[in-house]
Amino acid sequence: MAARPRVIIIGGGFGGLTAARTLKRAPVDVTLLDRRNHHTFQPLLYQVATAGLSPGDIASPIRWILRHQSNVRVLLAEVQHIDVERRMVHIRSADSVTRSAAESGRSFTLDYDYLIVAAGATHAYFGHDEWRDRAPGLKTLDDALRIRRRVLLAFERAELEPDPERRRRLLTFVVVGGGATGVELAGALAELSRHALAHEFRSFHPDTARIVLLEGGRDVLSAFVPPLRAFALKSLEKLGIEVRTSAVVTAVDEDGVHIKAQAPSSEPQAPDERLRAGTVLWAAGVAAAPIGRALGAPVDRAGRVLVEPDLSLPGHPEVFIVGDLASVTQDGRLLPGVAPVAMQEGAYVARLIRGIARGSQPIPASRRPFRYHNPGDMATIGRAAAVADFGRFRLTGWIAWVAWLFVHILKLTGFRNRLLVLVQWAWAYFTYQRSIRLIAGEDRG
């Protein structure tokens, strides 16, 4: 009896987890590797960062999610090297979790017949990694808790600060990047300061906090059509957020940021402007995980692997790249690094492998190319304000916000998380309160 094909999936994010679930009834043995033991619903990380939700509301243990799938083994491990010629993955037990002297850092080798690399992305600082500690990004639960700590400590330090100028700096929050993450983060910060903290300090009024959203391009939410961008801008300004477009950050230091305004080429360039701020948050871009460059295939400027139409690694039809790590162009446009893309790619690759294992899928020249079907784009700006683009129709305001709530509740993993988030949102909506305002842990910055 022939051995069942061995499938290794690297990464328990949207792409990797969807692939594992799609292989539930396939005649294969699956090993899923991740450095963390949980899957995080990343679109709601900004709510953890701004004290709206608890980490457990948007994350679930990977083992629990796949507990009924007998053909899957989950390993808490970090990938050290992939040998695509010998079809081997070299891993190490996750040091951050496995602390015993006997186990910490032990190395292992796993063989595979098919490999799915869904390692995701990290923050892109455009060659200035020294900004990382002073301007944290938002990709993991650790990032969210770190940002929450910094934001809440800024208000606590302002309560103790007798000097008005220093207090103004402490109460200035700069969000770099006007995409969906930056817009949602800035809006949540405004609601936190204007409502949740409104009556809790005695030395100052929290609603005097200055929130600045910086975007290097001409518009916020540039992925949306112009009418939705205009609505988003108006909604942000209504919240008291200072939106500055065509503003490129040239430096980040302990006192704030340096900004260069983008002027037309025919006009003289303005000198750098210094914006003093106690808290700087980064939402300006992402870069693919370093493992992509280590595969030996061509990559784009962001480190994403230039894959074949079937998402396979060039020259290796048994290796597939999905999610933020894959550079896929469709209809002349690069597919964005969002959850629906990763999920559809993961499902597509898993169906290919399932078909091959069952003998019904041709290998590999006749594979049907991957095609992404956009379910729509959404972004929330604040209380009862959002934008949604579903192609044939577009929504703004309260109705878009309700649609955003409904979609995100449905996509959360597990009934418990859906119920908890629904209760938290209902409480926040009717009381304007954010009860998860705990300052804990240590800040590396």
Decide if pLDDT at 174 tops 50: yes
Query: For tokens 């500690």, what's the residue?
Result: 133
* Cα–Cα distance for residue pair 187/185, rounded to 1 Å: 5
Distance CA(411)–CA(208), nearest Å, equals: 36
Quick one: pLDDT at residue 191? Answer: 93
CA distances from 234 to 63, 118, 185, 244, 284 (A): 44, 37, 16, 13, 21
Q: Name residue, tokens 């300061």.
A: 193
Over 80: is that where the pLDDT of 358 sits? yes
Residue 100: is its pLDDT beyond 60? no
| Distance in angstroms (rounded) separating the CA atoms of residues 185 and 37 | 26
The string of DSSP letters for 30-95 reads EEEEESSSEEE-GGGHHHHHTTSS-HHHHEEEHHHHTTT-TTEEEEEEEEEEEETTTTEEEEEE-T
- Which of residues 8 and 435 earns the better pLDDT score? 8
By DSSP bridging, strand 279-282 and strand 59-61 are unpaired
Going by C-alpha positions, the residue among 242, 254, 241, 168 that lies closest to residue 203 is 168
Beta bridge partners of residue 74, listed in sequence order: 32
- pLDDT, mean of residues 184-212: 93
Residue 288 has pLDDT above 90, yes or no: no
Q: What whole-number distance in Å separates Cα of residue 404 and Cα of residue 47? A: 14
Average pLDDT on 283-288 reads 86
| Confidence at residue 96, expressed as pLDDT on a 0 to 100 scale | 47
**For the residues 385-401, what does the mean pLDDT come to?**
93
Q: What is the pLDDT of residues 45-74, one digit of tens each?
A: 999 999 999 999 999 999 999 999 999 999
What's the mean pLDDT in 335-341? 92
Higher local confidence (pLDDT), 165 or 123: 165
Q: State mean pLDDT over 234-257.
A: 94
215 is catalytic: no
d(CA 292, CA 269): 37
CA angle, 114 then 115 then 121, to 5°? 160
- Kindly report the number of other CB atoms within 10 A of residue 281's CB atom: 27
Share of the chain above pLDDT 90, in %: 69
User: Is residue 134 scored above 70 in pLDDT?
Assistant: yes
Instruction: Out of 161, 184, 308, 345, pick the active-site residue.
Output: 184
Residue 79 amino acid letter: V
What is the average per-residue pLDDT within 226-245?
A: 96
Q: Report residue 443's pLDDT band, with 50, 70 and 90 as the boundaries.
A: low
Whether pTM exceeds 0.85: yes
Q: What is the mean pLDDT of residues 23-52?
A: 94
pLDDT tier, 98 (very low <50, low <70, confident <90, very high otherwise): very low
Q: Which of 77-86, 250-259, 268-277, 284-293 has the lowest mean pLDDT?
A: 268-277
228 pLDDT higher than 70: yes
| Other Cβ atoms within 10 Å of 163 Cβ, number | 9
Q: For the segment 118-132, what is each residue's pLDDT rounded down to a tens digit?
A: 998 888 888 888 999
Over 70: is that where the pLDDT of 29 sits?
yes
CA separation for the pair 231, 187 (Å, rounded):
14
Q: What is the pLDDT of residue 59?
A: 93
For residues 154-174, average pLDDT: 96
String of DSSP letters for 363-386: -STTPPPP------EEEEEETTEE
pLDDT of residue 104 exceeding 80, the answer is no
Residue 102 has a pLDDT of 43
